[in-house]
Amino acid sequence: MFINLKVKRDKSSQPVCCEQTTEKDNVPSYDYGTRITFSKEVMEKLGLDVSKFHTDDKIEATVKLEVVATRDIEGPYPEKSVELQITDIDLGEVKEAPGAKKIADYKKIRDQYPTEE
């Protein structure tokens, strides 16, 4: 079951600096730590081509996570958080117009042109 991580913000009390914002009202819609970036090396390992992606494409993925840190800090700046590391990932479909393409298609193309490791 998927749980949407979008959060509601009070426009007047939230700074807009490092978080994803909506163009409509410039209010952050997701917390800063919910975004991931794949490097060139990771993209190659997954058989992905950056030119095949577009902003707002939807990708379904299953991941294995490892807890690498926990924080339960009290005082004037309290914090309760868990830091997770993605260790394994299984990507599903990339939903893009005009139709959906399977990530496996990208892997087939990648396998046709092996790179030296």
Got the DSSP string for 4-21?
Answer: -------TTT---SSS-B
pLDDT tens column, 47-78:
888 888 888 888 888 999 999 999 999 999 99
Assess whether 47 and 90 both reside in one domain: yes
From CA 36, how far away is CA 113, in angstroms rounded? 27
Assess whether 30 and 41 both reside in one domain: no
What is the structure's pLDDT at 57? 81
Pairwise pLDDT comparison (112 vs 41), residue with the higher score = 41
What domain range includes position 107?
Answer: 37-112
Assess whether 14 and 44 both reside in one domain: no
Whether residue 117 has pLDDT greater than 60: no
Assess whether 45 and 24 both reside in one domain: no
Assess whether 96 and 42 both reside in one domain: yes
What is the structure's pLDDT at 116? 62
Structural domains in the chain (count): 2
Q: How confident is the model at residue 82 (pLDDT cuts 50, 70, 90)?
A: very high
Mean pLDDT of the chain: 77
pTM of the model: 0.59
